[in-house]
Amino acid sequence: MIDIKLIRENKDLVKENIKKKFQDKKLPLVDEVYELDIKCREAKGKGDELRKEKNEKSALIGALMREGKKDEAEKIKAEVSKYGDEILKLEKEEEELRAKIHADMMVIPNIMDPSVPIGEDDSKNVELEKFGEPIIPSFEIPHHADICARLNGLDKESAGRTSGNGFYYLMGDVARLHSAMLSYARDFMIDKGFTYCIPPFMIRSDVVNGVMSFEEMDAMMYKIEGEDLYLIGTSEHSMIGKFQGQIIKEEELPITLTSYSPCFRKEVGAHGIEERGLYRVHQFEKQEMVVLCKPEDGMKFYDKMWKYTVEFFRSLNVPVRTLECCSGDLADLKVKSCDVEAFSPRQNKYFEVGSCSILGDAQARRLGIRMKTKNGNEYVTTLNNTVLATPRGLIAFLENNVNEDGSVNIPEVLRPYMGGKEKLVPKD
pLDDT at 405: 95
92-101's contacts with Cβ under 8 Å and 24+ in sequence apart are: 93/39, 93/43, 94/40, 94/43, 94/44, 94/47, 97/36, 97/39, 97/40, 97/43, 98/40, 100/36, 101/4, 101/33, 101/36, 101/37, 101/40
pLDDT at 214: 66
Q: How would residue 423 be classed by pLDDT, with cut points 50, 70 and 90?
A: very high
User: Quick one: average pLDDT of 390-419?
Assistant: 96
**Percent of the chain's residues with pLDDT above 70:** 97
Domains of the chain and CATH, by start: 4-105 (1.10.287.40), 122-424 (3.30.930.10)
pLDDT of residue 80 exceeding 90: no
User: Quick one: average pLDDT of 47-73?
Assistant: 77
pLDDT at 391: 92
Distance CA 165, CA 155 (A): 12
Angle between helices 27-66 and 11-20 (to 10 degrees): 150
Distance CA 154, CA 152 (A): 6
End-to-end CA distance of the chain: 56
User: Across the chain, what does the average pLDDT equal?
Assistant: 92
User: Quick one: average pLDDT of 348-363?
Assistant: 96
Angle between helices 392-401 and 172-191 (to 10 degrees): 100
pLDDT in tens, 315-324: 999 999 999 9
pLDDT at 114: 96
Per DSSP, helices labelled H in 106-122 are none
Distance CA 223, CA 230 (A): 4
**Percent of the chain's residues with pLDDT above 90:** 82
Per DSSP, helices labelled H in 21-162 are 27-66, 70-105, 144-150, 156-162
pLDDT at 271: 57
pLDDT in tens, 105-118: 999 999 999 999 99
Distance CA 265, CA 364 (A): 24
Q: How would residue 78 be classed by pLDDT, with cut points 50, 70 and 90?
A: confident
Among the listed residues 268, 263, 273, the one whose alpha carbon sits nearest the alpha carbon of residue 236? 263
380: part of which helix (H) or strand (E)?
A: none
Distance CA 177, CA 11 (A): 53
What pTM was estimated for this model as a whole? 0.90
pLDDT at 274: 64
Asked whether the beta carbons of 78 and 327 are under 8 A apart, the reply is: no
Angle between helices 172-191 and 298-314 (to 10 degrees): 140
Q: How would residue 50 be classed by pLDDT, with cut points 50, 70 and 90?
A: confident
Give burial (CB, 10 Å; 0-12/13-18/19+) of 19: middle
pLDDT in tens, 126-155: 999 999 999 999 999 999 999 999 999 999
Asked whether the beta carbons of 381 and 297 are under 8 A apart, the reply is: yes
pLDDT in tens, 311-355: 999 999 999 999 999 999 999 999 999 999 999 999 999 999 999
Distance CA 221, CA 331 (A): 16
247: part of which helix (H) or strand (E)?
A: strand 247-249
Q: How far is CA 370 from the centre of its chain?
A: 18
Higher pLDDT, 295 or 267: 295
423: part of which helix (H) or strand (E)?
A: strand 423-424
